Amino acid sequence: MPVPGTRDPAPQQQQHQPSPDGLSWREQSRCLTENPEIFFEGGGVTHKAKKICAGCSVRAQCLEFGLANDERFGIWGGLTRGERRALLKRRHRTDAGLQDEAAEEGDQEEPRHAG
């Protein structure tokens, strides 16, 4: 399983897209030179990992990688597993709400009569 800050091979699902300078988001991450153990949840270590992530320019890509690959351990994009799960639930509710709104709008359209 890949660990933030390591140079593991490409993930199973989401690919690392190189930036214009040819580097993947992982190669641009602040965690690359940190001890990977910092990014596994637990007490003060979580706080330290989040602090590193907070200033990272590729935090969003890291988070999306963690979500897309259902990473169950560690800090990804500055979020713990529980925080990532809560984010996915919020996204799901938002997506479902948008779908419901679109369906309701479709039901409210006035019928057109051929004239």
Residue 53 within any structural domain of the chain: yes
When the pLDDT of each residue in the chain is averaged and rounded to a whole number, the result is: 78
Sign of CA dihedral 33, 73, 1, 17: negative
Residue 49 within any structural domain of the chain: yes
Residue 48 within any structural domain of the chain: yes
Q: Is 23 or 78 the better-scoring residue by pLDDT?
A: 78
Task: Determine the pLDDT at residue 93.
Answer: 84
Is the pLDDT at 112 greater than 50, yes or no?
yes
The count of domains in the chain is 1
Residue 13 within any structural domain of the chain: no
Q: Is 16 or 34 the better-scoring residue by pLDDT?
A: 34
Tell me which residue range forms the domain holding 34: 26-107
Q: One-letter amino acid identity for 24?
A: S
Structure tokens at 69: 């690959």
Q: pLDDT band at 16, cuts 50/70/90?
A: low
Buried b (16+ CB within 10 A) or exposed e, 74-104: bbbbbbbbeebeeeeeeeeeeeeeeeeeeee
Asked whether the whole model's pTM tops 0.75, one would answer no
Residue 4 within any structural domain of the chain: no
How many residues appear in the chain?
A: 115
Residue 103 within any structural domain of the chain: yes
Residue 60 within any structural domain of the chain: yes
Residue 18 within any structural domain of the chain: no
